[in-house]
């Protein structure tokens, strides 16, 4: 039985004309949802009996992206807070709002975050709020900024300009469908989310065929969600699942493949925000009552030995100790309910650092009383013994390094981690605490697999995510542990300061790091 389920949102799947695609259905119970490629306006349907093995072997090659000859990194940024964001109005592709003072400040923070990057080009939505954000981030760079009409926000037609309560009062059931089932939402004869996915896919063709190796894209919430999803081969049912906060930064790495085939695609970061990712707020417009925070343990000596990355169960080095302390400080702003960790030494040390800081909440000014948090070890989070079986040693700092592992290793990792995911959801389902925050500490490979299970993917997607030592990823459950997980951020490292890998640079490529 699956732990995270959602209603089946429809049987529509959209493909670009003349391009191959894939359609995958993973059903373990009637409530599980379907994963598909959704990219344009030609409807298809394929038997849900397609096997995981057949689809897995064709996963990346069936995504029809233009081939590239050199690695390409694309950085997505959502615009800063706008006047209509502040008022709670539905903006869509209207162009009547502009950045607030807070929005300008957020854009400046993103500029500082990206100040050392030498982008070759900037693609931007032509709408005022996005264009102004791009101007602030681009600053004194002399390279070109290219306005791209397809990067405009989602077209919402008659909804645009309405306050949310006005939309509910005026459109009733249609507005409810927009909130509850956006993938199938129809207005004025249009399916906005489906059209958005088609536009996003069209944008990727333009971005990837540009000769620049480092590309900045400044756009909007919905279109950035669609860009991330279409890059990874996820369909319209993933709308509002991969969050994009104001001025949040997401990073995608594209690696060339032989014989002119579509590149490997890896989500290096999702929603690196100017504000804390664990701050109170909504997830997809709803308040989250349950939350899982995935914490990658701090660096160990074997993290630095690229030639043999699975060299044993070791303590953290000094860098790892600092990273764990920084993570503990960040989590001090959150009342942690429980900490679950792998029995590996580095994971347990990181978990204890978090627990001790929670216990010292009174003297650190976070609370008037100490928080005593139980640390639980579960063997299903331990994956190093599986990785050690691989004969293909891979540098864990490289994006998509899991793609290089043998299929049987990936299968073992996937099956092993599913047990851990069940345990986490059981922990989260405890109703004794209305607000439940579970911190999970483990190896990056284990956390990548856990996110895959949360999103109802298959093992073939594991190479599409990247996590660094000391990073955190946040999954919210606004409908409780039995509902669908919403990914607030992936591979967040801003809290590590100078002891983190830069937001858009890989340590393996940065000689000075």
User: Catalytic site residues?
Assistant: 79, 153
For residue 504, say whether it is annotated as part of any ligand binding site: no
Q: Please give the Cα distance from 91 to 345 (Å, whole number).
A: 49
Q: 3-state secondary structure string, 268-279?
A: EEEEECCCCCCC
142 secondary structure, DSSP code: -
222 secondary structure, DSSP code: H
Backbone angles phi, psi at 423, to 5 degrees: -65, -40
Q: Please give the Cα distance from 353 to 357 (Å, whole number).
A: 6
Terminal C-alpha separation, the chain:
45
Closest CA to 243 of 214, 267, 264, 207: 267
Q: Please give the Cα distance from 392 to 308 (Å, whole number).
A: 9
Rg of the chain taking only CA atoms, in angstroms: 22
For residue 186, say whether it is annotated as part of any ligand binding site: no
Q: Which helix (H) or strand (E) holds 29?
A: none
How would you classify residue 88: left for phi > 0, otherwise alpha for psi between -120 and 50, otherwise beta? left
CB–CB of 93/128 below 8 Å?
no
For residue 81, say whether it is annotated as part of any ligand binding site: yes
In the structure encoding, which two tokens stand for residue 142, read together? 């002399």
Could you give the 3-state DSSP secondary structure of residue 413? helix
For residue 84, say whether it is annotated as part of any ligand binding site: yes
For residue 164, say whether it is annotated as part of any ligand binding site: yes
How would you classify residue 37: left for phi > 0, otherwise alpha for psi between -120 and 50, otherwise beta? beta
CB–CB of 33/241 below 8 Å?
no
For residue 103, say whether it is annotated as part of any ligand binding site: no
For residue 199, say whether it is annotated as part of any ligand binding site: no
Q: What does 436-501 look like in DSSP terms, one character per residue?
A: EEEEEEE-HHHHHHHHHHHTT--GGGGGGB---TT-EEEEEETT-TTS--EEEEEEE-GGGGGGS-
For residue 82, say whether it is annotated as part of any ligand binding site: yes
| Cβ neighbours of residue 160 closer than 8 Å, sequence gap 6 or more | 90, 91, 92, 93, 94
Could you give the 3-state DSSP secondary structure of residue 79? coil
For residue 197, say whether it is annotated as part of any ligand binding site: no
For residue 403, say whether it is annotated as part of any ligand binding site: no
Q: Please give the Cα distance from 413 to 384 (Å, whole number).
A: 9
Helix 128-138 vs helix 101-113: angle between axes, to the nearest 10 degrees? 40
Residue 376 pairs in a beta bridge with 340
Closest CA to 354 of 418, 417, 442: 442
**Strand pairing class (214-219; 282-283):** unpaired
Which residues participate in the annotated binding site? 78-85, 129, 164
Binding-site residues for substrate: 78-85, 129, 164
């Amino acid at each position: 039985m699956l732990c995270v389920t959602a209603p089946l949102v429809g049987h529509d799947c959209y493909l670009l004309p003349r391009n191959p695609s894939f359609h995958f259905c993973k059903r373990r119970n009637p409530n599980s949802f379907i994963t598909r490629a959704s990219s344009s306006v030609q409807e298809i349907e394929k038997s849900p009996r397609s096997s995981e093995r057949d689809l897995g072997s064709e996963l990346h090659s069936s995504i029809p992206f233009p081939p590239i000859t050199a690695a390409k990194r694309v950085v997505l940024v959502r615009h800063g807070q706008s006047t209509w964001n502040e008022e709670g109005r539905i903006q869509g592709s209207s162009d009547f709002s502009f950045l607030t003072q807070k929005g300008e400040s957020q854009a400046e923070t993103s500029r500082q975050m990206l100040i050392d990057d030498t982008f070759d080009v900037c693609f931007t939505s032509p709408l005022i709020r996005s264009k102004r954000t791009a101007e602030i981030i681009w600053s004194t760079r002399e390279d070109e900024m290219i306005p791209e009409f397809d990067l405009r926000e989602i077209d919402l037609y008659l909804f645009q300009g309405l306050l949310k309560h006005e939309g509910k009062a005026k459109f009733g059931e249609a507005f409810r469908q927009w909130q509850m089932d956006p993938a199938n939402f129809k207005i004025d004869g249009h399916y906005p989310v489906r059209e958005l996915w088609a536009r996003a896919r069209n944008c990727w063709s333009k971005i990837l065929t540009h000769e620049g190796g480092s590309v900045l894209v400044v756009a909007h919430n919905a279109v950035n969600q669609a860009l991330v999803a279409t890059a990874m081969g996820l369909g319209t049912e993933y709308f509002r699942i991969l969050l994009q906060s104001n001025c949040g930064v997401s990073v995608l790495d594209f690696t060339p493949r032989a014989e002119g085939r579509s590149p490997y695609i890896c989500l290096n970061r999702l929603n690196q925000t100017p504000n804390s990712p664990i701050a109170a707020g909504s997830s997809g417009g709803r308040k989250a009552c349950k939350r899982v925070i995935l914490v990658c343990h701090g660096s160990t000596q074997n993290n630095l030995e690229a030639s043999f990355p699975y060299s044993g169960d070791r303590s953290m080095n000094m860098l790892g100790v600092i990273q764990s302390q920084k993570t503990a400080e960040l989590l001090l702003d959150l009342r942690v309910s429980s900490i679950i960790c792998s029995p590996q030494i580095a994971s347990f040390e990181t978990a204890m650092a978090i627990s001790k800081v929670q216990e010292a909440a009174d003297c650190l000014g976070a609370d008037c009383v100490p928080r005593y948090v139980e640390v639980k070890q579960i063997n299903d989070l331990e994956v190093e013994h599986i990785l050690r079986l691989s004969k293909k040693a891979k540098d864990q700092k490289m994006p998509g390094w899991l793609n290089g592992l043998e299929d049987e290793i990936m299968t073992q990792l996937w099956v092993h981690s599913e047990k851990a995911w069940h345990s986490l959801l059981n922990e989260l389902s405890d109703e004794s605490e209305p607000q439940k925050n579970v911190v999970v500490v483990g190896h990056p490979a284990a956390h990548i697999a856990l996110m895959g299970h949360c999103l109802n993917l298959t093992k073939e997607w594991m190479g599409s995510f990247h996590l660094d030592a000391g990073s955190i990823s946040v999954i919210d459950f606004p409908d409780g542990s039995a509902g669908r997980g919403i990914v607030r951020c992936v591979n967040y490292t801003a809290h590590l300061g100078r002891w983190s890998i830069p937001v858009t640079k890989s340590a393996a490529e940065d000689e000075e790091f």
